[in-house]
Amino acid sequence: MTGIAAIFSAGPASERQLDAMMAAMSGRAFDGEGRWVNGRFALGASILHTTAEAMEAGQPHTNEDESLALVLDGYLANWEELRRDLLGRGAVLRNRSDAELVLRAYEQWGEACADRIEGEFAFVIADRRAGRIYAARDHQGLRPLFYCQRGDTLVIASDIPAVFAALDPPPEPNDDYLVGVAAVQLFLPEDTVWRGIMRLQQAHWLACDGDGLVTRRYYELPIGERLRYRSDEEYAEHYRTMLLDALRRTTRSHAPVGIAVSGGLDSSSLYCLADRLERQGQLLAPGFQGYTLAATPGSRAYELPYARAAAAHIGRTLTEVPLFRPPLDWYIDQARTEHDLPIPTNGAMTIGIEQRVHADGSRVYINGDGGDEWLQGSFTYYREFMQEGDVGGFVRALRQDAAAKGWRSAVPQALRTGLSAFAPDWLRTWSKAARRARRYRDPDNFYWLRPEVRALLERQDAAYNAALPSDPHAWTKENLFASPFGSYARARMQRQRGLSGIEPRHPMFTRQFIAFSLATPEHIRRRAGVTKVIHRIAMRGILPDMILDRRTKADFESDAIDGEMGRFCREQGRPFLDKFCESSGLERLIPPGFVNTVDDDRSWELWGLYAVAAFFRLNSSSNGLSGGHQT
């Protein structure tokens, strides 16, 4: 992943600021750096090439008279269609790079260009003629972009550390956001751990000129579109064709690509489909290799038999890499370097495999993220049946669910979900508010937090939900799409992989994949207690039965690290946690001699408290981080 940075100022842009931002991103510069400073604008790129086309254009990339300059992180999935469209409109393309396509798209459509571009991207364009800077992120927010406006200067970068480096004095911790971390309940999609450092939301563009800064959403989920077939087999054929094309588009690289193979349904399918693409001559890379995590046999994370079964099914080798399990001090050092929270342990565990992918010569690493979001399905199929007057479908689903888990469980679920189709909006709003109030006032929920903190969380929750659609189906999908916790987690993982010298790609987060999920009925994804139904049907013959029939998922939490986090909170973190937490609640959550166990798993709560305590400890007056550079 290429790290990008930009400065837009009322006067001459500060090269000193740009130097500080570039130094903060130097770990990404596997293929060099580029800078462009012109009057009020300064752009920088810490470059990682992932395609042959990218090497045809330097970064920052300018048009002929340097009235426009661009820095780009990511790749385009619709480069073929966009190229044809631009050529048909008379655009002159000087090379095959995605950077050239984005620059010409902005020339053609201005602020509306973001919706014409598909893929995984974040970019910034300096427009000297208009006296404006423009930035955009992809629909799913798979490439991060942060910004901070102070006075008459705006700084934008791929990473929080790069923005932080440009600020003097340094920003203050954002207590409102950190409250959510302590509860592992994030409801602030634009905020970060630092007050004033903002996250450009997914599917948004930003523009700043003499009239100020504005952000706009350019992509809406295509919820109203419907796709109906008469049989599972027809859905499966459409799905298989769509997934193959989505995967083909993500394999474009000048080097062999790596593919994550966890042994689960999603990543294993991509691995086996890549073999099919290669045999058909449609793989857009000179080969691929599968990589899997080699956990200890018998542990909750042990998935090697499944991953090996996928490799054996297509007759290929598999690279097995041990989980990265660093000591607790490593997480503190990482948080100090990144000016952020310590990364969750199940994120850090993949560092070894990511570094191995780069060491083997790959620059692209394809994974199955997105499958859980868009393939799992939910019980809303009962609501769909009721809305469409399909009594037969409702009864069929009820019988299937009852056979799987019993009538006592199936009937209440069916009635509750089905009847919600007829509830008026005011009743849904009232019901959600009542459930929310019960949740935050239940003494067994968030009992480690102070009452005023729980009240703040409730207000954040209410504001977040008020911004979502009132229709329950649209609410569910939008929440799935734009989850603030998902946005936080993806940004952290992208930075980690960028520092490892690889670009992650996500076929199951593409627009076409999401559109298929939204346009098809819920019952093709979930029925009779089984999730990802249409995926299982479509992958028959492509995946071994051992994986197709799998109903379990691995658990990568570490009881040992959880125990260390608990002890850190008790022994060193209490002075910092007292701001948000009740002493009695902390004693209950982390009692003396605390040991986390499989049967009493509090991993996420422990991470949230540990992350907050470590962050405050690193940034307290006695242990504070050094400031940035003068704006």
- Residue 621, pLDDT > 80, answer no
Per-residue model confidence (pLDDT) at position 592? 84
Question: To which H or E segment does residue 177 belong?
Answer: helix 175-183
Average pLDDT over residues 247-261: 98
Per-residue model confidence (pLDDT) at position 600? 57
Instruction: Report the DSSP beta bridge partners of residue 364.
Output: 503
Average pLDDT over residues 159-165: 97
Please give the backbone phi and psi of residue 72, each rounded to the nearest 5 degrees, phi first.
-135, 130
**Six-digit token string for 155:** 């700084």
Per-residue model confidence (pLDDT) at position 247? 98
Q: What are the Cα distances from residue 627, in Å, to 171, 369, 513?
A: 9, 36, 43
CATH topology for 232-375+506-548? Rossmann fold (3.40.50)
- Residue 627, pLDDT > 80, answer no
User: How would you class 316 by CB atoms within 10 Å of its CB: exposed for 0-12, middle for 13-18, buried for 19 or more?
Assistant: middle
Per-residue model confidence (pLDDT) at position 214? 98
- Residue 499, pLDDT > 50, answer yes
pLDDT in tens, 566-577: 999 998 999 999
pLDDT in tens, 15-54: 999 999 999 999 999 999 999 999 999 999 999 999 999 9
DSSP letter at 363 equals -
Q: How confident is the model at residue 594 (pLDDT cuts 50, 70, 90)?
A: confident
Closest CA to 270 of 492, 54, 504, 498: 504
Q: What is the rounded (10 degree) CA torsion for 203, 207, 211, 214?
A: 20
Give the whole-angstrom CA distance, residue 47 versus residue 493.
18
Query: pLDDT above 90 covers what percent of the chain?
Result: 87
Query: Where in the chain are all domains bearing CATH 3.60.20.10?
Result: 3-217
Q: Which residues of 125-134 are buried (b: 16+ CB within 10 A; e: fewer)?
A: bbbbeeebbb
Is 518:528 a contact under the CB 8 Å cutoff?
no
Q: How confident is the model at residue 422 (pLDDT cuts 50, 70, 90)?
A: confident
- Helical residues (DSSP H) of 324-482, grouped into ranges: 328-338, 345-348, 351-359, 371-375, 381-387, 391-405, 407-419, 425-441, 451-466, 472-481
Per-residue model confidence (pLDDT) at position 301? 86
Is 165:20 a contact under the CB 8 Å cutoff?
yes
Give the whole-angstrom CA distance, residue 427 versus residue 438.
16
**Six-digit token string for 461:** 């929750």
Closest CA to 123 of 160, 156, 84, 81: 156
Average pLDDT over residues 582-610: 83
SS3 190: coil
Neighbours of 224 (CB within 10 A): 9
Q: What is the pTM of this model?
A: 0.95
Give the whole-angstrom CA distance, residue 551 versus residue 549.
6
**Which sign does the torsion angle of CA 150, 153, 156, 161 carry?**
negative
Per-residue model confidence (pLDDT) at position 620? 83
Q: How confident is the model at residue 624 (pLDDT cuts 50, 70, 90)?
A: very low
Per-residue model confidence (pLDDT) at position 628? 41
Per-residue model confidence (pLDDT) at position 622? 40
pLDDT in tens, 168-219: 999 999 999 999 999 999 999 999 999 999 999 999 999 999 899 999 999 9
Span between the terminal Cα atoms of the chain, in Å: 27
Instruction: Report the DSSP beta bridge partners of residue 9.
Output: 153
Name the average pLDDT for the chain: 94
- Residue 515, pLDDT > 90, answer yes
Give the whole-angstrom CA distance, residue 122 versus residue 203.
10
Give the whole-angstrom CA distance, residue 227 versus residue 137.
28
Give the whole-angstrom CA distance, residue 631 versus residue 14.
7
- Residue 631, pLDDT > 50, answer no
Give the whole-angstrom CA distance, residue 269 versus residue 607.
32
Q: What are the Cα distances from residue 167, in Å, to 21, 156, 160, 164, 178?
A: 10, 11, 11, 5, 20
SS3 272: helix
Q: What are the Cα distances from residue 419, in Å, to 401, 412, 472, 475?
A: 17, 11, 12, 17
Q: Look at the block and give the residue holding tokens 């079964």.
A: 309
Is 136:122 a contact under the CB 8 Å cutoff?
yes
Q: Name the class of domain 3-217.
A: alpha beta
Where do the DSSP E strands lie in 185-276? Answer: 198-199, 204-209, 212-217, 257-260
Closest CA to 338 of 631, 25, 616: 25
Give the whole-angstrom CA distance, residue 147 versus residue 122.
12
Which range, of 5-14, 75-84, 291-300, averages the lowest pLDDT?
291-300
Q: How confident is the model at residue 598 (pLDDT cuts 50, 70, 90)?
A: low
pLDDT in tens, 346-400: 889 999 999 999 999 999 999 999 999 999 999 999 999 999 999 999 999 999 9
Q: What are the Cα distances from residue 514, in Å, to 21, 67, 82, 243, 592?
A: 35, 36, 20, 11, 47
The string of DSSP letters for 278-311 reads HHTT--SSS-EEEEEEEPPTTSTT--HHHHHHHH
Query: Where in the chain are all domains bearing CATH 3.40.50.620?
Result: 232-375+506-548
